[in-house]
Every structure is written in C-alpha cells, then in structure tokens.
Amino acid sequence: MTRHRPAEFSLPEVDAPRDVQLDQPPPGTTHVHHAIPNGSAAYASKSIFMQRDEGLPEYAERIFSQFLVFTVPSYLQHLVTGGDPDIPKRLHDIAALDGLRGWACLLVFNFHFFFTYTWDTHVGWGFNKQNFGVHKLPIIHLLFSGHIMVAIFFVISGYVLSYRPLKTIRNRSFEQTFTVLSSATFRRGFRLYVPSIVGMFCVLIAIRLGLYNYSDWVVAKGRTVTGTNEQNPIILRTTYIQLWDFYGTLCRLVNFWDWGLYYNNYNPHLWTIPVEFRSSIVLFVTILATCRFTTKVRLVLEFAILWFCMRWGRWEVVLFLSGLLLAEIDLINGIWNPSPTTIAEKQINTSPIRHFLQRRHREIWMATFVLGLYIGSSPNIGYPYTPGFVWLTYITPAPYPEPHRFPQTVGAVLIVASINNCKPIQKIFVNPLSQYLGQISYAFYIVHGPILHGFGFVLMYNIWGLTGRETNLQFLSGAAIGWSICLPIALWLADIFWRAVDLPSVKMARQLENRLLAQFQS
C-alpha cells in the first residue's frame, strides 16, 4: 500500500534502512520501551520509593526516588508520598466544556486505534447497500469516528477563547478587553507549539534509539495495517540527516500561512495545530474589530463573517466563529449568571411560544443534544450515499473541500450549545473523571499517536498472531485486548507529559509575558 509522505526540505539521497527480511522482525526489537519525560519536585519523606539503597550515592538515590514518584499518575501520588490527596478545585462556569474536550479526546484515541486496521471507522450504516453492522449505526458510530471530535475541539476553543474578552466587552471595559486579547494572542503560539514540538522531539529520540524499528517492519509487512496507512516515522540512515528532516518538519509545522493540511511523519495528528493557531488569530481579530459596537451590530457582523468563511469553505474558521457566537448568545441570555427572578415572574407577559419554551427548556435542549449527536454521526466517507444522511447533501455548501465537515460542524455546534444550556447534561461532564480527562486532554492528544505507532502496531501484530484476525470474532477479540493495553499506557504517559511539559509551557509563556511587560514598563 502506498505511503503518502508530505514534501520535506531537500535532503541528501539516502535510503531508509530496509535491509531487514520481511519474514521475521529485525533483531533486537522484541521489546519496545518508551521514553518518559523527566521532572523533579520535592516530595514527602514517607514515599515508598525512599528506601535507602547502600549501593547508590545519596544524591543519586534522591534524584532516582523523585523520578519514580514523578512517574506515578497525579491522582495516585498521595499514596506513595504519604501526603494528602489534592483538594478538588472549584468548578468554573464553563467547566463542562473541559469535560467534553476530555471525552472527545478519548474518542479520538478510539478512532486512531482502529482506523489503521479497518475502514469501518469511515463509513456509516447502509453505505453502498452494505455495512450493516450495529457499530455503524448513528450515534453509536461516534465511539469510533474521530472527525466530529475535531469539530468539537474547535468549537470549544472558539468558545473558551472568546468567553473572557466578551465579558469585558459587555462591561464596556475596553482597556481590559485590549489587555486580555493582547495576552491571549501572545501566549497562543506557545500554548499550542511548545508541547507539540517537545512531543515530536521525543519521537525523534525514540527513532534514533531504535524504538520504531519493529513497528516500521510491521508497517512494511502490511498484514495488520490494512486500513488508513497513516504517516509513520521515517528511519533515516544517520542522526545528522534525521535532524535535518526534523528541522524541515518543524519549519512546515509552524508555517501557519499554508492553509493546506500538513501530516508530518513524526506525529501526523498534529495537523490540527497550525489550523488551530491561524483560526485563533482570525477569532481574536474578529473580536477586536467588533468590540466597540452595540450587541446587535456585533452579532450581525459576526454572523456575516461566519457566512463569508462558510461561503469559501473555511470550515475550521467557521467552527471557531461558531464558538464565538455561542459564547455571545449565552452571555446575552445570562445562562452563567442567572438573575434571581423567579420562573413565574419570567412567564408574565410572554407569548404562548415563549411560555412553552420556558416550561420545556430542559426537554428541548436534551432533544437538541440528541439531534447534534445524530447529525455529528455523519460518516467521513460517502455520507451522500448513506441512509439517514442523504438529506444533508442539500444543505452542504458547495465550496466545502471536505463535504462531511459541514454536517459535523452543525452537530458539534448543537452538542456544545445543548451542554451549556442543560444542567442534567452538564452533570455528565463535570464529574472528577471528566474533569481529569479534560485536564490532560492536550497532552493525551499529543502522546497517543506515537504510542499507537511505536507500541500499538507491534502489540497488535503479536496479538493477532496469537488470536488470528480472519473472522470478526478474532478481529474484535484481538482489538479489545490491544485497546485495553494501549489506553492505560497512553493515559499514564499523558499524565506525565501534562505535568512535565504542558503545565510548565503554560507557566513559561505567562512568565515570559510578564517579564517583557515589566522590562517595557521600566
């Protein structure tokens, strides 16, 4: 199967090391290890890892103990340090969106786990008068279809990035609006790119350590990777050439002027990063351009800009601006700061339609949530020929380069809007598990791809070597075993990456901003 490799910087003509035989794995690759981000912190002396080893110097023992404690998941560290568990933080207004982001990232993991082994993740129930599996039914299919989750990510990003500036605008605090937008714009690049580049550099190190040799052989063998043949790290002959390839990859990754989608070989899932960055800049400019107008004028202008982007098929900007509009409407309706006015008082002098909407508020938003899930289930391939989704072709704008992005945009907007306006649905996303998944979601998004490529490919090759994959039962049983192993490992490493890279990068960007401001003001 042809592997699609995006154009890179010019390199010397060097062949990748393909001299291994395809009837057996390359020597010395029977085990796959992962490079774990390091970090250190002071921990209580009660740690179970603090047992003295007379064979180690005291400082080495201390560093090693701190490293071991750091590798323990954050929610279990109090058990090994002897300290108290972390006190849950008070939930902010839009905490449910954090939980939604966490679950969406988990479903992206499901999609990326399965789509390299089967095309079933891309098509819906009844497509081409076949494909009648239960797992392809609408809504159920969301468990394995990842594109709608990207749409949800972008709507959430648009909402979250707009929320605070819009609050200052509504308070007519334009100086504060400028400060908030300036800070968000300055820190946005660091927030998106620093963790991504560090994650890719970890992949580079793993490549040179030989941790991808076995998975590269599995991909070349082609007996298990029979679905989407996603970009896999290219093993070049020397470290020098590999570094030049990595440099060229970074140059293309940070080139947000290129509106095409770039799938790099070190972590192809990071194609969303430049897309998200440039969409964020468009969002900030839109807020800045419309901030001094009245609410009605601002809404009209925001709708007009959204329509313009939709007219030219810029689906990613449409998603961000949809988040902006949802935040604007929610602030207008005061859903996050409800007035003490009673429901009975609200119903005075209202029309029958408004009276019905107020009484059935919860049921209406629950129905909207289900409708969003249904429309968002639009398959990635062939939705105009899939029963239940054909009608969506008549409302999809012609300029959309990927037509399935439009119904998934509609579904994502309905899902986010219904969650914000329905307390019973919010409860699903504000529990401790959902909030934890939301906290580590960006780290999880970055690390899960390299784990699935470097470890998952090897694992599934060996599991299916034992169970077989000729029948549906064999395929599913092997996949279930592999998924049950890969998911905990990905979550564990995401927790470490979150504490070692993600959180420090946020802190670094804020400190850099404050230092530059202090230097300028002095």
In a domain, 510, yes or no: yes
Place of tokens 């899902």: 415
In a domain, 18, yes or no: no
Low-confidence winner among 43-57, 62-76, 398-412, 498-512 (lowest mean pLDDT): 43-57
Structure confidence at residue 88 (pLDDT): 73
- Is the pLDDT at 129 greater than 90? The verdict is no
Cα 113 from Cα 115, distance rounded (Å): 6
pLDDT in tens, 416-467: 999 999 999 999 999 999 999 999 999 999 999 999 999 999 999 999 999 9
Q: 62-71 b/e with 16+ CB inside 10 Å = b?
A: eeebbeebbb
Structure confidence at residue 32 (pLDDT): 41
Structure confidence at residue 11 (pLDDT): 39
Token output for 5? 């490799």
The total of other beta-carbon atoms located within 10 Å of residue 487's CB is: 16
Q: Is 443 left (phi over 0), alpha (psi -120 to 50) or beta?
A: alpha
- Is the pLDDT at 411 greater than 70? The verdict is yes
Structure confidence at residue 68 (pLDDT): 80
- Is the pLDDT at 266 greater than 50? The verdict is yes
Task: Tell which residue, 115, 300, 65, 377, has the closest CA to residue 226.
Answer: 115
In a domain, 4, yes or no: no
Instruction: Give the burial class of 213: count Cβ atoms within 10 A of its Cβ; 0-12 exposed, 13-18 middle, 19 or more buried.
Output: buried
Structure confidence at residue 26 (pLDDT): 55
In a domain, 78, yes or no: yes
Structure confidence at residue 19 (pLDDT): 43
Structure confidence at residue 208 (pLDDT): 96
**Residues 330 and 336 sit within 8 Å (Cβ to Cβ):** yes
In a domain, 9, yes or no: no
Instruction: Give the burial class of 245: count Cβ atoms within 10 A of its Cβ; 0-12 exposed, 13-18 middle, 19 or more buried.
Output: buried
**Residues 145 and 154 sit within 8 Å (Cβ to Cβ):** no
Structure confidence at residue 27 (pLDDT): 52
pLDDT in tens, 220-256: 887 888 888 888 899 999 999 999 999 999 999 999 8
- Is the pLDDT at 319 greater than 80? The verdict is yes
Task: Tell which residue, 27, 324, 17, has the closest CA to residue 159.
Answer: 324
Close Cβ partners of 195 (under 8 Å, ≥ 6 residues apart): 442, 443, 446, 497, 501, 502, 505
C-alpha radius of gyration, the chain, whole number: 25
> What pTM, to 2 d.p., does this model score?
0.85
Structure confidence at residue 414 (pLDDT): 97
Structure confidence at residue 54 (pLDDT): 56
- Is the pLDDT at 350 greater than 60? The verdict is yes
Low-confidence winner among 19-23, 96-100, 130-134, 393-397 (lowest mean pLDDT): 19-23
Mean pLDDT of the chain: 85
- Residue scoring higher pLDDT (8 or 203): 203
- State the residue range of the domain holding 461: 71-84+93-521
Count of structural domains within the chain: 1
pLDDT in tens, 361-401: 889 999 999 999 999 999 988 888 888 888 998 988 888 88
Place of tokens 């401790």: 432
In a domain, 21, yes or no: no
Q: Residue 479 in 3-state DSSP? A: helix
In a domain, 424, yes or no: yes
Q: Is 54 left (phi over 0), alpha (psi -120 to 50) or beta?
A: alpha
In a domain, 273, yes or no: yes
Structure confidence at residue 17 (pLDDT): 43
